A and B are shown apart, each in its own frame.
Chain A
């Protein structure tokens, strides 16, 4: 059976360049990067190079502002809780958007249970945070604002620089979850005035289980893991040299190839959308009309439910995802679409298509063909389908 992977926002394959960078770290350069001897120094040099690469990719002032983590979720958790705790004597109020990843939202919930106050900002119908809402939410006790750079479900790009500037006018630290942004939009932490930023390797053709937190020198954070002086004593534990090396290479390539990949993905996106809009009626494209990444397309299909679309596509080898009720373990529709004001019944029928850099026109054609069939089949047995609407 033919297979087409349209779930690159969930994870990507590891590119061969990245894999080649990683492989020697398993059995050739296997020293502990904290050891003083030659084996250790060799491993340490690899970790240093990876740190330099990550720093260069986001234009951090210094490489020591990069702290490797187990991924984006850990980086988000650490940033939200660690910064909130470190500044708790100054104030206990933080501001986030209502469409953040659950790594941020659940970390906020934990803070609330500890007595912190959290404001969840609304977004407009395109998923954008309004600066006026931030200004309205800021209090004397606000210590941290966290807004994701790119939303993982609909691909909307926030006005990060303006938000960061607003935060700084009030002496508030600004963190952003940039997991979906790396490789899709240009990130310059100095120009964008970002104080802390979460990153992940496996969305950019790197390995799973590794990411980083960028933390501008001078910004305080509670230590995450005790028991070692790794990551400047903030996150103890032997460094996973191979993964870190893979991440360094992956982010270097992601930034190097950003414009060529985006050019291609823009064409893919436009072709896909034209095809879908031509062949399937009663759909709604979710997200911002132009302030969005090219790799993510979120579509609501009227009268049918998302998981059943996903499963029919899967039976024909096409992998997509849905944030609606059924894939997650709750029956609630996507919090992102809900907060954007998408009606529940449309949110229940939404599918995220996310394209990878190796996609071909024939992949798109096959996916559209399968999608057309699936939608027609499900509308055929839907009680919501009125006569003549298929």
Chain B
């Protein structure tokens, strides 16, 4: 039912944990639905994602999806990261039950939410500086 890649990433996620110095956090889902994904980003002055980590409440596919998402955006510019879609996540993970595909969609949404958070924080900072 699950691919080897999903099981491996579930068993030994490379990117699990919080991130020291993170300046953006994305969060989607709720416990009632069975999935909460959180992605922490450290974005440098050139808008490059230096590091990405995740914390996930959810099934194997949810945990594996966020782990892949972190790999896909690390080292990329924000604009490039926004181009990452659930298909990219899905392609790396391989086969999963049909009703689990939404996990890869949630991973994509979490990346977007993190980027949004980054811009919000930046805006706030700019406003503060201009006062």
Q: Could you list which residues of chain A lie within 8 angstroms of chain B, going by C-beta atoms?
A: 303-305, 307-308, 311-312, 315, 324-326, 329-331, 333, 344-345, 348, 380-385
The answer to whether A307 touches B59 (Cβ under 8 A) is yes
Q: Which of A308, A324, A344, A345 has the most CB of B within 10 A?
A: A308
* A111 smallest CB distance to B (angstroms): 27
Contact residues in A for B58 (Cβ distance below 8 Å): 305, 308
Which residue in A303, A312, A326 is a CB contact (below 8 Å) of B57? A303
Give the CA-CA distance A329 to B100 in the complex, in Å.
9
The answer to whether A326 touches B31 (Cβ under 8 A) is no
- Counting from the closest, the 10 A-B pairs by CB-CB distance are A345-B31, A344-B32, A307-B59, A383-B55, A383-B38, A381-B16, A325-B34, A326-B59, A348-B34, A382-B57
Contact residues in B for A304 (Cβ distance below 8 Å): 57
Within 8 A of A (CB), among B20-39: 27, 31-38
* B7 smallest CB distance to A (angstroms): 8
Contact residues in B for A345 (Cβ distance below 8 Å): 31-32
* A307 smallest CB distance to B (angstroms): 4
Known contacts A331-B99, A383-B36; A308/B17 CB under 8 A: no
Contact residues in A for B34 (Cβ distance below 8 Å): 305, 324-326, 331, 333, 348
What number of A-B contacts does a CB cutoff of 8 Å give?
70
Q: Could you list which residues of chain B lie within 8 angstroms of chain A, going by C-beta atoms?
A: 7, 10-11, 13, 16-17, 27, 31-38, 54-60, 62-63, 97, 99-100, 102
The answer to whether A315 touches B60 (Cβ under 8 A) is no
Contact residues in B for A382 (Cβ distance below 8 Å): 55-57
Give the CA-CA distance A348 to B58 in the complex, in Å.
9
Known contacts A331-B33, A348-B31; A383/B99 CB under 8 A: no
Contact residues in B for A329 (Cβ distance below 8 Å): 97, 99
- Known A345-B32, A384-B36; further 18 A-B contacts with Cβ < 8 A: A305-B58, A305-B62, A307-B59, A308-B10, A308-B58, A311-B7, A312-B11, A315-B11, A345-B31, A380-B17, A381-B16, A381-B54, A383-B27, A383-B36, A383-B37, A383-B38, A383-B57, A384-B57
Main secondary structure of the interface of A (DSSP, over half): loop
The answer to whether A305 touches B99 (Cβ under 8 A) is no
Which residue in A307, A311, A330, A384 is a CB contact (below 8 Å) of B31? A384
Contact residues in B for A324 (Cβ distance below 8 Å): 34
Contact residues in A for B16 (Cβ distance below 8 Å): 380-381
Contact residues in B for A305 (Cβ distance below 8 Å): 34-35, 57-59, 62
Give the CA-CA distance A383 to B66 in the complex, in Å.
12
* A196 smallest CB distance to B (angstroms): 35
Known contacts A345-B32, A348-B32; A381/B63 CB under 8 A: yes
Give the CA-CA distance A224 to B11 in the complex, in Å.
48
Contact residues in A for B33 (Cβ distance below 8 Å): 325, 331, 344
* A347 smallest CB distance to B (angstroms): 9
24 pairs from A and B in contact (CB 8 Å cutoff) = A304-B57, A305-B62, A308-B59, A308-B63, A311-B7, A311-B10, A311-B60, A315-B11, A325-B59, A326-B34, A329-B97, A331-B99, A344-B31, A344-B33, A348-B31, A348-B32, A381-B13, A381-B55, A382-B57, A383-B37, A383-B38, A383-B55, A384-B36, A384-B57
Give the CA-CA distance A312 to B2 in the complex, in Å.
13
Contact residues in A for B37 (Cβ distance below 8 Å): 383
Give the CA-CA distance A324 to B13 in the complex, in Å.
23
